[in-house]
Amino acid sequence: MLAVGLGLWGCQWRGSDRVVVYTTLDKALVEPLFRKFTEKTAVEVLCLGPEDVGGHPGGRTELRQAVADEQGRAICDLVWHAEPVQMARLQQENLLAAYHWPDTQRFSQWAKSPDGRWHGLAARARVLLLYSPAFQDQPSDQLPSSILDLASAKYRGKAAMAGRQSDTAVAQLACLFALWGPQRGQEFLRQLRENGVQFLASEADVARQVAEGHCLVGLTDSDQAIRQVEQGSPVLLVYPDQREDQPGCLFLPTTIGILRRAQHLRAAQELANYLLTPEVETLLTHGPAAHVPLNYEVTAFSRIRGPDDIKAMKVDFLSAAGYWDAVASSLP
């Protein structure tokens, strides 16, 4: 089915005024941006998601298999992924083209590949979400404030995070392996399992379980956390690990990269340039996912605190990419 579908797409999308995008972001979020791009440039965008290439919405799709065939030939022209670690894996496999990104100094330097293979924008944070009624009598300095609290006996069987189906959960643990080393990383995973941490199917499930009081502490993406906050659910959003001796809150930018064998290279470059404009990040900042803008020219108010506002974890995403398989195979 996949091969047949790709054959049809190849027949229909050979013109230079078209570009094929594979994205793991919600199509409802990105397709309005693609329509704006088409209005400005007359370049049409075919938007593919995991469900279009044999995956399923909300589940983890192996990015390498989604964007290139077994011979390394590009299935799409541009990738827009929800986090940077799998994009770094494409970089390691030499599937991404080097590109001179426009006005790159406007962006946070940590959120892009040093060799120009991919570029970050519109980040989310990995945050703790607390069921507030359970903590209403506790002083603020005694609330869960670190990802290590998921392994605390105080929350045995009452903490949750997503399992291997969540790209951002796998990415966070891969970043911790890169930061701590694999031995400490595996020890943390063992502690989570022994403490009865509930590994759920999605980040939305984690936020929902906390909001309904089934779990007291959840580790999840900021877009799922802010959704519960703005719906008036009885929750508290906590940016973890802010003490001097702690690593900080992890920010995961969405990432774009152009495939090395893209069939519509110029159109892909044109779309990439547009996605890095202040207009796009402003729209994403105001959108339901409350992305954090990384373009310093964006003046829109962010509902989520950004890496310049709080202590942010410093991590090498390329190093983290080397731990992806080990983490994914260790998670339920």
Helices and strands (H, E) in the chain, number of each type: 12, 9
Q: Does residue 215 contact residue 209 with C-beta atoms inside 8 Å?
A: yes
pLDDT of residue 5: 42
pLDDT tens per residue, range 153-201: 999 999 999 999 999 999 999 999 999 999 999 999 999 999 999 999 9
pLDDT tens per residue, range 215-250: 999 999 999 999 999 999 999 999 999 999 999 999
Q: Please tell me the pTM assigned to this model.
A: 0.92
Task: Of 253, 221, 259, 201, give the one whose Cα is nearest residue 66.
Answer: 259
Q: Cα dihedral sign for 306, 307, 311, 312?
A: positive
Delineate the domains of the chain, giving CATH numbers in brackets.
2-123+252-304 (3.40.190.10), 124-238 (3.40.190.10)
Q: How far is CA 178 from the centre of its chain?
A: 17
